[in-house]
Amino acid sequence: MMFETWWLLALPLVFGLGWMAARLDVRQLISEQGALPRSYFKGLNFLLNEQPDQAIDAFIEVARLDPETTELHFALGALFRRRGETERAIRVHQNLATRPDLPEPEREHALYELGQDFLRAGLLDRAEESLRRLMSGPYAASAKRVLLELYEVEKEWQKAIEAARELQALEKTDYRLQIAQFCCELAQDSLQRKRPEDAVKWLHQAMQENPANVRAPILLGDVAAAAGDARAALGHWLAIERQDASFLPLVAERVVKSYAGLGEQGAALDWLRGLLKGSLAPELLDVAFKTELDQNGPEAATRLMREQLRRQPTLLALTKYFEAQAADMASAATVAGTGETSVDADEPAGSDKAKETTAIRDLLQLRTRNLARYTCRECGFRARLFYWQCPGCNRWETYAPRRSEALG
């Protein structure tokens, strides 16, 4: 009975303390709201009504009236940068970075934002200078990531390798794929400067960094071909089939040219015909068709495309079939002594069929010319050419060597 009486006496006291705490919280909230300028609430209202220009003007007024609102300054700077107003973003962040009363963490934040402003504005030297002041502390990893992006834009590949290694140690993240690509970029620079020995050195380093890198053996084949060693070049390119066969279409024309240089055109055709029986056929049809046409004439090219249509019917194979037929008819007309080398000539016999074949060929060529595209897996950027670094999102090795749209 004593226990129940105690609780009955304690309950009013607990409720009373709760009521007093609530009143204190309400008074504090009213006091804080009263201390905020009206422009702050106007800015919020503009944001809620999706009027960003008016909201920015209102927040600028708040920042002018109360320079201590550093978070608002940071928000304004980020807004300016996203809108492309880099000069205004730079002014906001420079004012913060030079304030003598600003705490060190916020000064580092301002320097980091300033570095991004300079990078967006194309002031790469000033961006590097700002970010280099943040090589230790809470913004070190973020600053090094931006520096890595900067070095890629500047094509400072050795600095990019150093930055990637530092990030790899700092974040425990694997950057070997990027480092291998940077080595390949250095190899290409060496080739352009006629320094094949340096190129080979960088390419071997690329393969050490990332054994799965296919670009390095492709470039090693280019080095050998430039030196006149077609056999060694073929060795590098044909070895790609064991590494990742899907990249073979990227070197198919090189392989055919090297076989021709060795006088082994038949070996090139045998290699291409074997690949046409597999999944790479759509990517290799153009090279196989041209090689067959050049070596054995339009009749053989027509037979090859007819076989391919039976094996894997695609729109591209059909296009090449009619191209071969048109070329065959043009050749037959010339042999027959008509004096014409085009199937559009007014032939006394077979002219209607020739014109029909030409019309179908032209229609199919128009249809397939812009059909297939390489597509970035990260951002969806589509391109007719293959890129090791996507022009859209700047990621490395995001393009598959196979074009993304099926032909047929």
pLDDT, position 402: 76
Q: Which residues have CB under 8 Å from 180's CB, separation 6+?
A: 206, 207, 209, 210, 213, 215, 216
Around 305, how many Cα atoms within 13 Å sit in the side-chain half-sphere? Answer: 28
Whole-structure pTM value: 0.71
Q: Which two tokens stand for residue 31?
A: 């006091």
Position 38 scores a pLDDT of: 55
In tens digits, what is the pLDDT along the chain, a chain of 408 residues? 444 554 555 555 555 555 455 444 434 433 444 445 555 545 555 444 555 556 555 555 554 545 556 776 677 777 777 777 778 788 777 777 777 777 778 888 888 888 888 888 878 788 878 878 877 778 888 888 888 988 998 899 999 999 999 898 888 889 999 999 999 999 999 999 999 999 999 999 999 999 999 999 999 999 999 999 999 999 999 999 999 999 999 999 999 999 999 999 899 999 998 988 888 777 888 898 899 888 988 888 888 888 888 888 877 778 777 787 777 777 666 655 544 444 444 444 356 677 777 777 777 666 666 666 788 888 888 888 889 999 888 899 998 887 755 443
132 in Cβ contact with 162 (< 8 Å): no
Amino acid identity, position 174:
D
Apex CA 259: angle with CA 383 and CA 386, to 5°? 10
Q: Residue 380's pLDDT is what?
A: 83
379 among annotated binding-site residues: yes
Query: Measured between alpha carbons, how far is 83 from 98 in angstroms, rounded to an integer?
Result: 24
Q: Which of 165, 207, 163 is nearest to 183 (CA)?
A: 207
How far is the C-alpha of 164 from the C-alpha of 335, rounded, in Å?
64
Q: How far apart are CA 306 and CA 330, in angstroms?
A: 19
Q: Is 183 annotated as a binding residue?
A: no
Query: Do 179 and 161 contact (CB within 8 A), yes or no?
Result: yes
Return the HEC string of the chain: CHHHHHHHHHHHHHHHHHHHHHHHHHHHHHHHHHHCCHHHHHHHHHHHCCCHHHHHHHHHHHHHHCCCCHHHHHHHHHHHHHCCCHHHHHHHHHHHHCCCCCCHHHHHHHHHHHHHHHHHHCCHHHHHHHHHCCCCCCCHHHHHHHHHHHHHHHCCHHHHHHHHHHHHHHHCCCCHHHHHHHHHHHHHHHHHCCCHHHHHHHHHHHHHHCCCCCHHHHHHHHHHHHCCCHHHHHHHHHCHHHHHHHHHHHCHHHHHHHHHHCCCHHHHHHHHHHHHCCCCHHHHHHHHHHHHHHHHHHHHHHHHHHHHHHHCCCHHHHHHHHHHHHHHHHHHHHHCCCCCCCCCCCCCCCHHHHHHHHHHHHHHHHHHCCCCCEEECCCCCEECCCCCECCCCCCECCECCCCCCCCC
Which two tokens mark 370? 């812009």
Alpha-carbon Rg for the chain, nearest whole angstrom, is 34
pLDDT at 136: 77
| Residue 1: per-residue pLDDT | 44
